[in-house]
Amino acid sequence: MTLRDDRREAAIERMADHVLAEGLGAATLRPLALAAGTSDRMLLYYFADKDEVLTVTLDRIATRMIAQLDRAIPAEPRRSFAVLLQQAWAELASDSLRAFMPLWLELASGAARGLQPHRDVAGKIMDGFLAWTTIRLQPEGDGDPARLAPLFLASIEGMYLLTAVGRGDLAEATAQELVSRSQ
């Protein structure tokens, strides 16, 4: 029992590494099993089917990502829009989180087509990121603390996408413009 759980757990960790490195396109049973140090036969013994393998693996990746973000940028103190934007953007470009970008866009495009588990996982991640942001953003003067969060998310995601298509310069220009405007 515990042995089985241990191996299942180890497989998840190594599959998470593989999916982060290679993307969902390469997330087929045999390569996943190879990365996990086992066989496709055993993967389907640990998990019901490929869908469960993917769901569990993506969940693990999302957990890792949020943990990393929490560690790098603690909840207290609250920060201005400009400061949090710069900190979050720098963190997302760091070695440990950069690999997440192509996967995140892959999830988003799958979600846009209504695929599972893309839709559920992507929605969950976005909700987590919304909560993460809301708790860290300092409300502007009189305003509602949650008013700025959507704009913050959209800005980060937009810069993300600009970077993905090789227009990182536009992302930087966006960050500059946002910072100079919110001060």
Partner DNA sequence: TGATTTCTGTAGCACCTGCTACAGGGATTT
Partner DNA sequence: AAATCCCTGTAGCAGGTGCTACAGAAATCA
CA count, 13 A, side-chain hemisphere, 102: 11
Q: Which residues pair with 79 in a beta bridge?
A: 137
Q: Which of 53, 84, 92, 122 binds its own copies (CB under 8 A)?
A: 122
Task: Compute φ and ψ for 138, nearest 5 degrees.
Answer: -80, 125
Environment class of 142 (CB within 10 Å of its CB; exposed 0-12, middle 13-18, buried 19+): exposed
Phi, psi of 137 (to 5 degrees): -85, 135
Count other Cβ atoms within 10 Å, centred on residue 26. 12
Closer residue to DNA in complex, CB, 45/70 = 45
- The alpha carbon of 2 is separated from its chain's Cα centroid by a whole number of angstroms, namely 30
Question: Whole-angstrom Cα distance, residue 175 to residue 155?
Answer: 8
The three-state DSSP-derived secondary structure of 107-154 is HHHHHHCCCCCHHHHHHHHHHHHHHHHHHHECCCCCCCCCCCHHHHHH
Picked from its own copies, DNA, none, the partner binding residue 16 (CB below 5 to 8 A depending on kind) is none
Q: Is 19 in the site for its own copies (CB under 8 A)?
A: no
User: Rule CB under 8 A: is residue 119 a binding residue for its own copies?
Assistant: yes
3 binds DNA (CB under 7 A): yes
Judged by CB under 7 A, the chain residues 19 through 78 that form the site for DNA are 27-31, 38-42, 44-45, 49-51
Q: Which is nearer to DNA, 48 or 131 (CB)?
A: 48
Nearer to DNA, 27 or 65 (CB): 27
112 lies in the binding site for its own copies (CB under 8 A)? yes
Q: Which stretch binds its own copies (CB under 8 A): 12-20, 40-48, 66-74, 107-115?
A: 107-115
Q: Which residues bind its own copies (CB under 8 A)?
A: 23, 101-103, 105-109, 111-113, 119, 122-123, 125-127, 130, 147-148, 150-151, 153-167, 170-171, 173-174, 177-178, 181
List residues near DNA by CB under 7 A. 1, 3-4, 7, 27-31, 38-42, 44-45, 49-51
